[in-house]
């Protein structure tokens, strides 16, 4: 799997986990959901993502998109 797919998987997992914890444990876990959402928003605007830096250091390859012919 390439880096972009890992980022989507991790973000989705964190959102679902924090929503479940917010429902069953404490509503304060919903703040973590908001934190993930804000990070996704800022990465779209600034083109910088901390998780991308972490995955790059872990050796996850970037996606190589090939144009359809």
pTM, rounded to two decimals: 0.85
For residue 14, the enclosing domain spans 3-57
Q: Is residue 50 part of a domain?
A: yes
Q: How many domains does the chain have?
A: 1
In a domain, 64, yes or no: no
Tell whether 66 is covered by a domain.
no
Q: Report angle CA 13, 19, 23 to the nearest 5 degrees.
A: 145
For residue 67, being part of any structural domain is answered with no
Per-residue pLDDT of the chain (69 residues; tens, 9 = 90+): 899 999 999 999 999 999 999 999 999 999 999 999 999 999 999 999 999 999 999 999 998 876 555
14/30 Cα distance (integer angstroms): 11
Q: Is residue 31 part of a domain?
A: yes
Q: Do the domain assignments include residue 42?
A: yes
Q: Is residue 32 part of a domain?
A: yes
The answer to whether residue 27 sits within a structural domain is: yes
């Amino acid at each position: 799997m390439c880096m972009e797919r890992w980022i989507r998987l991790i973000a989705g997992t964190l959102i679902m986990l924090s929503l479940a914890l917010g429902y069953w444990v404490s509503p304060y876990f919903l703040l973590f959901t908001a934190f993930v959402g804000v990070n996704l928003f800022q990465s779209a605007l600034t083109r910088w993502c901390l998780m991308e830096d972490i995955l790059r250091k872990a050796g996850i390859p970037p996606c190589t998109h090939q144009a359809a012919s």
